[in-house]
A = this chain, B = another copy of it.
Amino acid sequence: MSVLVIGDLELEGGAVLPGVEIAYEAYGTKNEQGDNAILICHALTGDAQAAAWWAPLVGPGKVFDTERYYVVCSNVLGGCAGSTGPQTRDNFPTVTIRDMVRAQKRLLDQLAVTRLQLVVGGSMGGLQAIEWAVTYPAFVQRCAPIAASAQLSALAIAYNHVMRSAITLGGADGLALARKIGMITYRSFDLFEARFGRELKRPHAALGETEFQIESYLEHMGQKLLGRFNADSYLCLLKAMDLHDIGRGRGGAQQALAQIQADVLWVGIDTDQLYPPQEQRTWARRLARLGKQVTYRELNSEYGHDAFLAEGEQLSLIISDFLQETGGN
């Protein structure tokens, strides 16, 4: 992992964040023109190691072919995996998805990337992807938000709110609880039913001491996050997601989306509780009505929201088709 100092960044909220550092990974080789880049944006608790967390998609011969593309992934502004955030600065200001994107643009400028073949991401990564296509229309040739939206929904804000309450209430224990809540929303009824059902941790425990396997699993996932994530950073990113509104300061969502020049692949997930398919289709339809080049595809998965991580093969095919259809492969 490398770190670049991208300089002082004036944030959407007005504050100036001096000497911002952005951690990133780059895979493959940039061509002379600097126009063979793919930018991967990570989700809430993700990091710059895209080849690790999106292994089926990133590498030689894969859909994000590192023998062909210069694949970049950076830790978001406000994150806690190498970039400037609440963990590295006191009194860290409110940042927005737009601020993250502007920081990424500075990074790409320094890396002498002149144009993006594709900007892609799932969940919070998808929020960034769509924001990219609006903020830098001429820079983005293709854009693929997955299980994301152009304005965060009331339901997603509601879940962010209770995760925030948990952290406010319990510090580190609260962060573990927030993660447990998050994990439920990232999965599906059918997945939990198939994987855990009513399995007990100790099958012969007395009624009052019953603990279900789904509980042990959630407990484990909550504790596991504590080892790699910072509560203040989590709060910072939740707020950035809440504030995600492509239309803010741009005369509304229609006006903003009208700016897009990229070919868009919008990917929904049929079992997603958090960014449900009807929401995904609505955003794709709105783009189509604006005359944009947009393809809507849906992952069929038992997984729920996390299908963008779990269904690598299916997703590779969808993205590969899109790249071919739009002349990128």
Contacts and interface: CB of A to CB of B under 8 A. Distances in A.
B170 A155 contact: no
A241 to B, nearest CB: 12
Given A94-B208, A207-B13, A177 B155 contact: no
Contacts of A226: none
A17 interface: no
B152 A198 contact: yes
Contact of A245 (B13, B96, B198): B198
Contacts of A245: 198
Given A154-B196, A278-B190, A214 B161 contact: yes
Band of interface residues on A? 35 or more
Interface string A231-274: 00000000100110100000000000000000000000000010
Contact of A184 (B159, B198, B212, B214): B159
A166 interface: yes
Contacts of A192: 153-155, 158
Determine the main DSSP class of A at the interface with B. Answer: helix
Interface in A114-165: 151-155, 157-159, 161-162, 165
Contacts of A218: 158, 161-162
Given A184-B158, A218-B158, A207 B166 contact: no
A181 interface: yes
A174 B184 contact: no
Contact of A276 (B152, B154, B189, B212): B189
A157 B212 contact: yes
B189 A155 contact: yes
A166 B161 contact: no
A154 B212 contact: yes
B93 A155 contact: no
A189 to B, nearest CB: 5
B162 A177 contact: yes
A95 to B, nearest CB: 9
Contact of A162 (B161, B184, B276): B184
Pick from A94, A165, A190, A206 the residue with the most CB of B within 10 Å: A165
A18 interface: no
Contacts of A188: 155
B93 A12 contact: no
A67 interface: no
A17 to B, nearest CB: 13
A60 interface: no
A125 to B, nearest CB: 21
A190 B281 CA distance: 14
Contact of A193 (B155, B162, B165, B214): B155
Nearest to A217: B158
22 contacts: A13-B206, A151-B198, A152-B198, A153-B189, A153-B192, A154-B196, A154-B198, A155-B192, A158-B184, A158-B192, A159-B184, A161-B180, A162-B180, A162-B218, A166-B166, A169-B174, A170-B170, A189-B273, A189-B278, A193-B279, A198-B245, A210-B239
